């Protein structure tokens, strides 16, 4: 307990699924938390849960692929809970299509939400982290960044970009006592996964040696490790809690 006592964290996509689990775990470990999500009603519920734990919290609405909305939400967060010391870039979408039939709009939206947003949100917190000589940035990628998947070329490409961005940024900011790392989970039992076609989900789980999706509570402790002092020597790393779908 108290591994994040006195810290301020911001979690994008924090209203549901993995983002919610991370936000609540961070709060239980002592952090004040800003919950940023497009679904402001659900984000407010998570913020209320965090306050019930005894920590400060704020909910902010933002489309994380929109630079103006990101700026506004992050300013709101800083005003409510203070300078962000831990950023979890978790917000994301998924969809399926073979490349030959993929609309350009589907490709562009995937890159906008799953990759561009990582840049926008990171850029929003870096000046203060550099000034304060401290930061933890945790980017949520996917095991599909390593292996790809049928009907998921757009998703896999975006998530592979997250890992490359993570490594490159880690070189830039290490001298400022800022660590940047990624987590590449396997399939998780979340609303996002359940919305994919049933046949795709069934085939995916056949590939996973454990033959089941992970739970968000199995992944959130990895984020806690990277956010805490215990994870201070991880830099540019990608941790892979994926049920054995990719063994690296």
- In total, how many domains does the chain have? 1
Position 211 scores a pLDDT of: 92
SS (H, E, C) the chain: CCCCCCCEEEEECCCCHHHHHHHHHHHHCCCEEEEEECCHHHHHHHHHHHHHHCCCEEEEECCCCCHHHHHHHHHHHHHHHCCCCEEEECCCCCCCCCHHHCCHHHHHHHHHHHHHHHHHHHHHHHHHHHHHCCEEEEEECCCHHHHCCCCCHHHHHHHHHHHHHHHHHHHHHHHHCEEEEEECCCCECCHHHHCCCHHHHHHHHHHCCCCCCECHHHHHHHHHHHHCHHHCCCCCCEECCCCCCCCC
Q: Is residue 244 part of a domain?
A: no
The residues annotated as belonging to the active site are: 155
**pLDDT digits (tens), the chain, 248 positions:** 799 999 999 999 999 999 999 999 999 999 999 999 999 999 999 999 999 999 999 999 999 999 999 999 999 999 999 999 999 999 999 999 999 999 999 999 999 999 999 999 999 999 999 999 999 999 999 999 999 999 999 999 999 999 999 999 999 999 999 999 999 999 999 888 898 899 999 999 999 999 999 999 999 999 999 999 999 999 999 999 999 999 98
For residue 57, what is the domain's CATH number? Answer: 3.40.50.720
Position 192 scores a pLDDT of: 85
Q: Is residue 25 part of a domain?
A: yes
Give the chain's mean pLDDT: 97
Q: Is residue 3 part of a domain?
A: no
List the domain range (segments joined by +) for residue 70.
Answer: 8-239
Q: Is residue 248 part of a domain?
A: no
Position 191 scores a pLDDT of: 87
Q: Is residue 246 part of a domain?
A: no
Q: Is residue 224 part of a domain?
A: yes
């Amino acid at each position: 307990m108290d591994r994040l006592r006195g810290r301020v964290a911001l979690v994008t996509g924090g209203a549901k699924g993995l983002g919610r689990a991370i936000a609540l775990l961070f709060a239980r470990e002592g952090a004040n938390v800003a919950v940023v999500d497009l679904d402001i009603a659900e984000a407010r519920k998570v913020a209320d849960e965090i306050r019930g734990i005894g920590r400060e919290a704020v909910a902010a609405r933002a489309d994380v692929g929109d630079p103006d909305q990101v700026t506004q939400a992050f300013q709101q967060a800083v005003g409510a809970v203070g300078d962000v010391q831990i950023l979890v870039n978790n917000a994301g979408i998924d969809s399926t299509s073979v490349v030959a039939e993929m609309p350009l709009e589907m490709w562009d939206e995937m890159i906008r939400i799953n990759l561009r947003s990582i840049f926008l949100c990171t850029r929003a917190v870096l000046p203060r982290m550099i000034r304060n000589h401290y930061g933890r940035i945790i980017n949520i990628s996917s095991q599909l960044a390593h292996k790809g998947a049928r009907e998921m070329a757009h998703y896999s490409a975006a998530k592979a970009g997250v890992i490359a961005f993570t490594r490159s940024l880690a070189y830039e900011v290490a001298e400022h006592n800022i660590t940047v790392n990624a987590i590449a989970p396997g399939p998780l039992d979340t609303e996002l996964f359940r919305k994919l076609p049933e046949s795709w989900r069934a085939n995916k789980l056949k590939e996973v040696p454990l033959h089941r999706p992970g739970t968000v509570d199995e992944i959130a402790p990895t984020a806690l490790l990277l956010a805490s002092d215990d994870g201070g020597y991880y830099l540019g790393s990608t941790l892979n809690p994926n049920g054995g779908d990719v063994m690296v």
